Structure 1
Amino acid sequence: MASTSLRVARIAVLALVAASAAASAAVATGDTSKDKIALSNSYAGNTFRQQQLKSWAEVAKEAKKAGLVADAPAFTTAENQATEQAQQIQNLVLQGYKAIVINAASPTALNGSIKQACAAGVVVVSFDGIVTEPCAYRIAADFHKMGAEQVDFLAKQLGGKGNLLEVRGLAGVSVDDDIHQGIVDEIKKYPGMKIVGSVYGQWTQTVAQKEVAGILPSLPQVDGVVTQGGDGYGVAQAFRAAGRKVPTIILGNRQEELAWWKQQGTGTYKTMSIAADPGSSTFAFWAAQQILAGNKLPHDMSLPTLTVTPESLNTVLPKTAPGTVASNVFSREQVVDMVQGAKK
């Protein structure tokens, strides 16, 4: 699935509409006012996940106010613990939640609990970190392509020759696996390029800076850095602290990264910024609500990644507050329209 450029300032404003004549004809209007939807989130240690939680809270508050749900709280496990999250899902079923939206610690480790939830009549929607249990719904960006696009961009910038450092995300999560595989598969097309080092940055600037600083002394010249989001600025700081030339670093839509990029000068420092959309949490919220309301959504749905280009940076940066990530907040109507459009 192609990335969606922010050339026309695609940062959406919160647009929640109560069940009314303004609703799209495709929106299901079954009564969900007494239903509770829970978010089971596996990790909150970076700005991307914090943005997901903030956006979820905004949408949940307005949906509750509009009488579309009874409640929609978020629950986060400690440090991506699949065992704890599986237990959390079981508890949410016992507490009477009609739908559970999951950002999973593992694509497979939660399947047993999810299967039990489905058997109890609970709607399960996974997003970002998706699961493989067939009864669950999945909302996924094409993370494999996201990795491939980074390699293609660097190959063009470097003339098909160069050493790359790979900064991965969180070990064991499907997002990390998919982006990594996209990088590995795509680099095979460029014999003159190779990965000379790899670290786990946990999608966090401070961790990425520390891990890159630790590996730099053992690396030859690095010409480009492929990343996963939340790590680009930390990588740049590690290179500067080591007294090494800052290579072309793929950025990940965090405000501090975009601000740093602008400081370098887009005409001087040529890169791109690409990441999944933290607004995926709001997409998943409305998907769950619509399934409860009777909308027959497909079990596999797609959400574009967001790309910031040199041309769109000056539009996107002012709309991305410090400590946040470039993001959309989806409305119910947008979600239904996007899903219906994908079916055509």
Structure 2
Amino acid sequence: MQSLTSRRALIAGVGVAAMALMAVTGSALAASNCVKGDRKAPYRVGWANIYSVPTWMKQTEGTITDEVAALKREGLVKDLMITDAQGNAQTQIQQIQSMIDANLDAIIVEAGSSTALDRVVSDACAKGIAVVNFDSLVDTNKLTAKINTDSLEWGKRAAEWMVGQLKGKGKIIIMNGPAGVSVSDDRRKGAQPVLDANKGLEVITETNTEYNVAPAQEAMTSLLFANPQIDGVLSLGGALSAGSILAFDRQGRDQVPTSGENARQFLELWKQKGLKGWATMQPNWLGALSVYAAVQALQGKTIPAVVKVPLPVIDDSNIDTYLARADKFPADGYIYSDYDRALFDKLLAQ
């Protein structure tokens, strides 16, 4: 028969072993998703972009290359591979597959399709590559992290503002980005419950264009000829809003309440024309944050699977603070907010 002392020693030993196992298990669970294998700094990073022509994308790529340069100085990144699918999701799939074949340590993805990329993104994750998806998101959760603002909230708040401006009654046009892009589709979905609850707002028609001024202006010009009464423009993108204002101006029509984004041209026209405006922001530094998050994950840090970036509001109370910094951004670009590592660490601590 075991003595009381022996039994106590055995129990204590089991307890220590259990605590050790829990510590190991906890550590394993704390590791970020996908990251595995012998991956050591300096890391090789890929940036798989759906298209690079829009100024928003160029500015976003600028924040990515700036962050990579900083990480290179710290000895954490070796090089950056950049691809441009030119709007073709199948091309983007092939480019991501090439990054997988090259065994990159991290892949940053701006998705051209919410569904088409699921398989290749999952494959990258299965190979132990840190995969961070931002802005336009894929459906699969088999990746390291998704980083974005809440596009549903974006649409909801824009629609609520429009309801307030028109006191719940009037004819409006909705301007959307490209169909099939998650950011555009989700903003539109977010607006719908507000529209359903305010039947006095009549949606005359809707547009889907690239996030560029010229096609938006052309689309709105056609709609102005067809619709003598337009009381508001629920625009769900900044360049779209600028195109709308220019179309109204060219046709000699009075400006109407217009929502939008932090596009420099929209903010400047808003102020110049004295119209009633509202905007929020999809910060270009989501790209830089994604690179930083991927490297943090590769270093063994815990990165949340979903990182939600708060939406700021631009209105008459603070538009001047944005315009005061306008000369630091391209004329056809976006005036985005300042960012630094402290902000990134705060967002990744969610």
List aligned pairs for 1:5-20, cutoff 5 A.
Answer: none
Matched, 1:264 2:273: yes
List aligned pairs for 1:96-245, cutoff 5 A.
Answer: 96-136=103-143, 137-229=145-237, 230-245=239-254
| Structure 1 residue ranges without an equivalent (≥5) | 1-27
**Structure of larger gyration radius:** 2
The Cα shift of 1:211 comes to 1.2
The Cα shift of 1:125 comes to 0.8
State the Cα deviation string for residues 243-282 of structure 1 (Å, max 9, x = none). 32221111311111111122123xxx22112231111111
1:252 to 221, 236, 261: 261
Tell whether the 8 Å contact from 1:277 to 1:306 is kept in structure 2 after alignment. no
Partner letter of residue 244 of structure 1?
A: R
Give the CA RMSD over aligned residues: 1.8
Partner letter of residue 44 of structure 1?
A: S
> Match of 1:165, SS?
strand
State the Cα deviation string for residues 163-196 of structure 1 (Å, max 9, x = none). 1111110121101110111122211111110211
The Cα shift of 1:300 comes to 1.2
What TM-score results when the alignment is normalised by the length of structure 2?
A: 0.84
The Cα shift of 1:32 comes to 5.0
The 3 A distance-change label for structure 1 pair 112 and 77 is same
Tell whether the 8 Å contact from 1:203 to 1:228 is kept in structure 2 after alignment. no
Tell whether the 8 Å contact from 1:42 to 1:104 is kept in structure 2 after alignment. yes
The 3 A distance-change label for structure 1 pair 47 and 163 is same
Partner of residue 315, structure 1: 321
Greater per-residue helix proportion: 2
Looking at structure 1, the residues matched to 222 and 40 of structure 2 have their Cα atoms a distance apart, in angstroms, of 52
Moved over 4 A (4+): none
Partner of residue 67, structure 1: 75
The Cα shift of 1:328 comes to 3.6
Identical positions, percent:
26
Looking at structure 1, the residues matched to 148 and 194 of structure 2 have their Cα atoms a distance apart, in angstroms, of 20
Tell whether the 8 Å contact from 1:252 to 1:273 is kept in structure 2 after alignment. yes
Partner of residue 280, structure 1: 286
Looking at structure 2, the residues matched to 171 and 251 of structure 1 have their Cα atoms a distance apart, in angstroms, of 17
Partner of residue 85, structure 1: 92
Looking at structure 1, the residues matched to 341 and 301 of structure 2 have their Cα atoms a distance apart, in angstroms, of 12
Looking at structure 1, the residues matched to 181 and 269 of structure 2 have their Cα atoms a distance apart, in angstroms, of 28
> Match of 2:266, SS?
helix
> Match of 1:307, SS?
coil
State the Cα deviation string for residues 190-216 of structure 1 (Å, max 9, x = none). 111021111113111111001111222
Looking at structure 2, the residues matched to 184 and 224 of structure 1 have their Cα atoms a distance apart, in angstroms, of 16
What TM-score results when the alignment is normalised by the length of structure 1?
A: 0.85
